[in-house]
Each structure stands twice: as structure tokens, then as C-alpha cells.
Amino acid sequence: MEQNRREFLTGAAWMGAAAMAAGCMSRASAVSGLGGGAGAPMHGFRVAPMKKVRVGFIGVGGRGTPAVHRIAQIPGCEVAAISDINPERLDAIQKWLKEHGLPAAKEWSRDGREDAWRGLCESDCCDVVYSCTPRPLHCPINVCAMANGKHVMQEVPGVFSLDECWETVEAAEKYRRHCYMLENCVYGEEEMLAFNLIKKGKLGEIVQAEVGYQHDQRSLQYKPADGRFWRIDRHVKHHGNYYPTHGLVPAGRCLDINRGDRFEYLVSMETKSASFEAFGRANFPADDSVVGIDGKPFNRHTQRMVKGDINMCLMHTAMGKTLSLIHNVCTPRPYDRGNLYMGTKGIYRSYPSLLIAWEEKEGDGGAKKYFDEAKALQIKEEYRHPFWKVAGEIAKKIGGHGGMDFVMDLRWVYCLQNGLPMDTDVYDLATYSSIVELSERSVNARSSAIDFPDYTRGGWKTAKPFTVDEMDMNRFDFSHGISKDKDAQTT
């Protein structure tokens, strides 16, 4: 009898699975120094239903503050703790909680100590650590929080290097905690529409996805965030795609990456660096002097960038699909995540506007023209993803990138409250985060092909494909009302 992998991994067979996994641990153990073998595989991992979800936030800046506001409004959730080295951020959160009749959150880091967040992880005041810090802190927070029994909701990208990927995977396996990457674009209305159409077979078998992140961030990246220049740091020092996940994770779900397929290898190529440097010369005086994230002086007028303006990756999957991924945050152009999928029956694309074409009958040549706008909108209505059907209205009211941030938060809370596996797991976090280092290695090797690690250690072959799931909104009581946040829209 073929055993359902989800049941297999969540039932009594844990022990056997742990033994099976232990043989594959040497690489990860060596890297992380966690010692011994790790635990059982995390595919399908779930915990007992948690009626109350107490959340501790580390980093309450541009992303963390609206996240606090959203979580405070999800029934069954409590903003239990906050950590930020900027006391003004802490004050603003406490004020907001008070104004909304909510208890004050426990605080860490008001004294400005860089590692005071560890106290939040070690305390027993929360069950979940929600991390929205600058990127170098992601991996240490993942490991420390899980080692202290907390589930982790980590901003994107989940980690940075392959060693950090292994370290995070092994910590999740060892401590049996969720480590979920907060990739909000998975829950975008049109990303979810694409996913639903693909899972319903409307485009046939998908052979190619073209996605990415193109967002003119010249002003944002040249502006210190609370006096720190962490955002532009990768441009200054590294080649490669350091922010791969917004277009990629939704596409990975459409291609069933780590659930029946996997990324095998990538090649990456990069343009020269021109746009950021031109922006710096045009907008800052020759004697400009600020402090970089490493504490060294940084002159925005003269600073040279290592990373080229545009990085492109091509990935090949074990099942013969390809995916192209572009990263460009510095040329003047409209925002774009691509979301283009081509299959044996049709095409879907959501930028610059919704474009859909498919063959109505097998091989009828009907996909030569995109459907007109009215038909595309009718399809959008008809194939709206179940999450957007039930939560779309409230998500748009509460906000956060058009509502997708709220759908994301609602969904992971729902999974915890109902004892379900997360929509993506720690292997997905590691796989997608790997692109940061793999793309840099490929660029440095004249675009040579670089293999992806298989964090699932072969588990991708038997893992069940992603499914279109439902959420029962009756399990949430929103009768106490919600409030729309101005700053929930600004990141």
C-alpha cells in the first residue's frame, strides 16, 4: 500500500524516518556544528493545534510595524513581545497597542544592545518569533528561536549562504519547529490566480516560468534605514541575486519544486554596474560621508558597486522545466514580478497587466491571441483562489501590499491554530535562499552551471504536489472589528 507522505511523516513512523534521515546528515552537521544527527524530515511537519498564538517580533521597522498591526487583528493572536534597537519604534508599537485597547508587549533591546533579541527567543512569553530584521540577523534568529522551542516566521530571503541554509534546515529538523519564510507574494491575488489555473490544468503542463523582481529602489537603497545602510550592502560587495524570492516562490509552487520536482542547477549572468553609481553621482555631493553597515565610511557620490545592474538566472529542474529569474532594483522602469507561465495549452502573465491565452479545445490554435480584457477579468473572477474568495475583502481592508500580506499572515496563523503543515517548509526556505550564493558563484565562474543542494535529501521525489487548499473563515471571529493602517501599505 502506498503510504501518503504527509501521514507517513506525521504519524508513528517518525522514528523510522529519523533513522533514515540520520544517514544523510553528515554535510549539514558538519556545517552547523549543532552536533549529532538532526531529527526527521520536515515535509508535512505539523504541530498540535494552537488555540492561542503568542507572537514575539524582532525588528519593528518598515516591515515589522505593519506586521504587528496585522497580527494584533487576527483572532486568537497576541502581540506578546517586541524587540528593536530603536526605542522610537518600540514606543510607537506600545502607543498603537494602547490606543487599540491591547495589553503592552514585553520589550527587549531598548538599551540598544545588538544581541538583546536573544532574550526574547529565550523567554517563555511567546510561541512564535516573527523576524523582520536586516538580513544578516536572519540565520542567527532562526537557529536561536528554534533552539528555544519557538516557531519562526522569517522575512525574505530566509537566509543568505548555503551554510546558513543547512544550519537552518538542521535546526528545524533537530528542534522540530516550523521555520517558515514570509514570502507574501505567494498570496498575491494574481499569483494565487495563476496557481489555481495551473493546478486546474488550464495551461496544460507547465514547461517554463519567467519571473523576477524589478523595482526601482534607487532612492530607497541610498537612504539609510535608521542610520544604517544594510540594504545596499550586497550591491557594494557581491555579485548575484540577493533578493530572489518575490517572483520565485510563487513560481516554485506552480512547478511543484520540492514536491515532485526540484531545481537541479542554475546559470547566472550579470550586466555591468551603471545605474546606481550614476544615481549616486547625480544626487549626493562629492564630500558625502555616511556610515556603512560594517561601520566603514561610505560616500554615495563615489561609491562603486560590485553587483551589476541586472542579474539573470536560468534554472533547470529535474523534470525538465526551466525558470528564468531577473533581479533589477536600479534602472528606471515600472514595477514587475513577471509571473509568466507557459504550458502545453496556454500562457498566463500578470505584468504589465493581466494577460491570459489558452486553447479552448486540444490543439485548436486558440492561444495565438491574448483573451480580451473582459474575458481575462471574467477568468479572474471564476478562478479566484479560495483564500481570496473568503478573505479577499477583509485583506483589502486591513491592507499590506494590496492585502497579500494579510492573507499570508492569516494563513500561517490558520495552519498553526488548526494543526496543519505550513504552505511552504524549511526546505523551501533553504532552496529559494540558496540562489543568493549559487548565482554569485555562477557569475564569478563566467556563468558556469552550479548545482543546487537537495535539502530534502531525496524527499522531493515522494512528497505530494502542492494543492489548492481551503480556509474556513468561520474559525476566526472578526466580530470585534478591524482597523485599516496607513503604514500597512508603505513597505
Ligand X SMILES: NC(=O)c1ccc[n+]([C@@H]2O[C@H](COP(=O)([O-])OP(=O)(O)OC[C@H]3O[C@@H](n4cnc5c(N)ncnc54)[C@H](O)[C@@H]3O)[C@@H](O)[C@H]2O)c1
Binding mask 36-65 for ligand X (x = CB under 6 A): ----------------------xxxxxxx-
| Cβ nearer to ligand X, comparing 167 with 454 | 167
168 binds ligand X (CB under 6 A): no
CA–CA separation, 44 and 424 (whole Å): 9
| Cβ nearer to ligand X, comparing 32 with 184 | 184
Strand order from edge to edge, sheet including 450-451: 355-358, 346-349, 340-343, 206-214, 322-328, 310-317, 263-270, 450-451
156 binds ligand X (CB under 6 A): yes
Three-class SS state of 278: helix
CA–CA separation, 310 and 118 (whole Å): 37
> Binding-site residue total for ligand X (CB under 6 A)?
26
CA–CA separation, 358 and 348 (whole Å): 8
| Cβ nearer to ligand X, comparing 155 with 485 | 155
**Residue whose Cβ sits closest to ligand X:** 61
134 binds ligand X (CB under 6 A): yes
Q: Are 59 and 132 in contact (CB under 8 A)?
A: yes
Other CB atoms within a 10 A radius of the CB of residue 457 amount to 17
Find the shortest distance in angstroms from Cβ 77 to ligand X. Answer: 19
| Cβ nearer to ligand X, comparing 60 with 315 | 60
Which 301-340 positions form the footprint of ligand X (CB under 6 A)? none
Among 78, 107, 127, 155, binds ligand X (CB under 6 A): 155
Among 10, 32, 86, 275, binds ligand X (CB under 6 A): 86
Please give the distance of CA 49 from its chain centroid, rounded to a whole number.
23
Residue 202: partners with Cβ closer than 8 Å, 6 or more residues away = 345, 346, 358, 383
Find the shortest distance in angstroms from Cβ 463 to ligand X. Answer: 25
Residues present in the chain in total: 491
Nearest to 108 by CA among 135, 67, 147, 145: 145
Find the shortest distance in angstroms from Cβ 113 to ligand X. Answer: 8
Nearest to 414 by CA among 10, 50, 150: 50
Piece in contact with ligand X (CB under 6 A), picked from 77-85, 324-332, 379-387, 433-441: 77-85
226 binds ligand X (CB under 6 A): yes
Among 53, 79, 85, 194, binds ligand X (CB under 6 A): 85
> For binding to ligand X (CB under 6 A), which residues are involved?
58-64, 83-86, 89, 109, 114, 117, 132-135, 137, 155-156, 184, 225-226, 491
